Amino acid sequence: MLWKLLVEYLRPQRRLLIAVVVFQLAQSIASLYLPTLNADIIDEGVAKGDTGYILRVGSLMLFITLLQIACAVTAVYFGAKAAMGLGRDLRGAIFGRVGEFSEQEVTRFGAPSLITRSTNDVQQVQQLVLMSATLMVAAPMLSIGGVIMAVRQDAQLSWLIAVSVPALLIGVGLIITRMVPLFRKMQVRIDTVNRVLREQLTGIRVVRAFVREDIETARFARANADVTDTALRAGRLMALAFPVVMLVLNVSSVAVIWFGSFRIEDGSMQVGTLIAFLSYLLQILMSVMMATFMAVMIPRAAVSADRIGEVLNTESSVRPPAHPVGFGADRDFGEDGVARRRPRRGELEMHDVGFAYPGAEQPVLSGIGFTARSGQTTAIIGSTGSGKTTLVNLMPRLFDATAGSVRFGGVDVRELHPDLLWGHIGLVPQRPYLFSGTVRSNLLYGKPDATEDELWRALATAQAHSFVREMEGGLDAPISQGGTNVSGGQRQRLAIARALVKRPELYIFDDSFSSLDTATDARLRQALKHDTSGATLVIIAQRVSSIVDADQILVLDDGRIVGRGTHGELLETSETYREIVSSQLAAEEAA
DSSP per-residue string spanning 336-380:
T--EEEPPPTT-EEEEEEEE--TT-SS-SEEEEEEEE-TT-EEEE
What pLDDT, on the 0 to 100 scale, is given for residue 456?
A: 92
- pTM beyond 0.85: the answer is no
| Vertex 249: Cα angle to 243 and 254 (nearest 5) | 125
Distance separating alpha carbons of residues 342 and 333, to the nearest angstrom: 10
Identify the top-confidence range among 80-89, 250-259, 424-433, 581-590: 80-89
For 422-449, the pLDDT digits (tens) are: 888 888 888 888 888 999 999 998 788 8
Which is more confident, 554 or 320?
Answer: 554
Cβ atoms 346, 423 nearer than 8 A = no
Question: What mean pLDDT do residues 272-295 have?
Answer: 80
What pLDDT, on the 0 to 100 scale, is given for residue 585?
A: 59
Domain boundaries, the chain: 2-312, 348-590
Collapse the DSSP code of 416 into the 3-class scheme (helix H, G, I; strand E, B; otherwise coil) and give the result. Answer: strand
Give the amino acid at 226: D
Task: Count other Cβ atoms within 10 Å, centred on residue 307.
Answer: 23
**Residue 66 predicted with pLDDT over 90:** yes
Task: Residue count of the chain, please give it.
Answer: 591
- Please list, residue by residue across 162-197, b when 16 or more beta carbons sit within 10 angstroms of its beta carbon and e when fewer do: eebbebbeebbeebbeebbebbbbbbebbbbbbbbe
Quick one: pLDDT band at residue 89, thresholds 50, 70, 90? very high
From 259-273, 358-372, 392-406, the region with the lowest mean pLDDT: 259-273
Distance separating alpha carbons of residues 231 and 223, to the nearest angstrom: 12
For 93-116, the pLDDT digits (tens) are: 999 898 888 877 887 888 778 888
| Vertex 269: Cα angle to 265 and 270 (nearest 5) | 95
**Residue 45 predicted with pLDDT over 50:** yes
What pLDDT, on the 0 to 100 scale, is given for residue 263?
A: 81
For 333-354, the pLDDT digits (tens) are: 444 544 444 556 688 999 999 9
Distance separating alpha carbons of residues 72 and 79, to the nearest angstrom: 10
338, 344, 350, 355 alpha-carbon torsion, rounded to 10°: 130
What pLDDT, on the 0 to 100 scale, is given for residue 586?
A: 52
User: What Cα–Cα distance (Å) separates residue 370 from each residue in 108, 190, 373, 552?
Assistant: 31, 46, 10, 10
Question: What mean pLDDT do residues 119-140 have?
Answer: 85
- Please list, residue by residue across 424-435, b when 16 or more beta carbons sit within 10 angstroms of its beta carbon and e when fewer do: bbbbbbeebebe
Cβ atoms 368, 560 nearer than 8 A = yes
What pLDDT, on the 0 to 100 scale, is given for residue 198?
A: 78
What pLDDT, on the 0 to 100 scale, is given for residue 328?
A: 59
What CATH number should be reported for the domain whose range is 2-312?
A: 1.20.1560.10
What pLDDT, on the 0 to 100 scale, is given for residue 459?
A: 92
H helices of 425-505, where? 439-443, 452-461, 465-470, 488-502
Quick one: pLDDT band at residue 330, thresholds 50, 70, 90? very low
What pLDDT, on the 0 to 100 scale, is given for residue 587?
A: 40
In the chain, what percentage of residues exceed pLDDT 70? Answer: 95
Cβ atoms 135, 294 nearer than 8 A = yes
CATH 3.40.50.300 fits 348-590, yes or no: yes
User: What Cα–Cα distance (Å) separates residue 528 from each residue in 446, 496, 542, 568?
Assistant: 17, 10, 18, 22
For 176-223, the pLDDT digits (tens) are: 778 778 877 887 888 788 888 878 877 787 888 888 888 888 888 999
Exposed, middle or buried, 436 (CB in 10 Å: 0-12/13-18/19+)? Answer: middle
In the chain, what percentage of residues exceed pLDDT 90? Answer: 16
Cβ atoms 12, 85 nearer than 8 A = yes
Give the amino acid at 220: F
Phi, psi for 164 (deg, rounded to 5): -70, -45
Distance separating alpha carbons of residues 427 and 500, to the nearest angstrom: 10
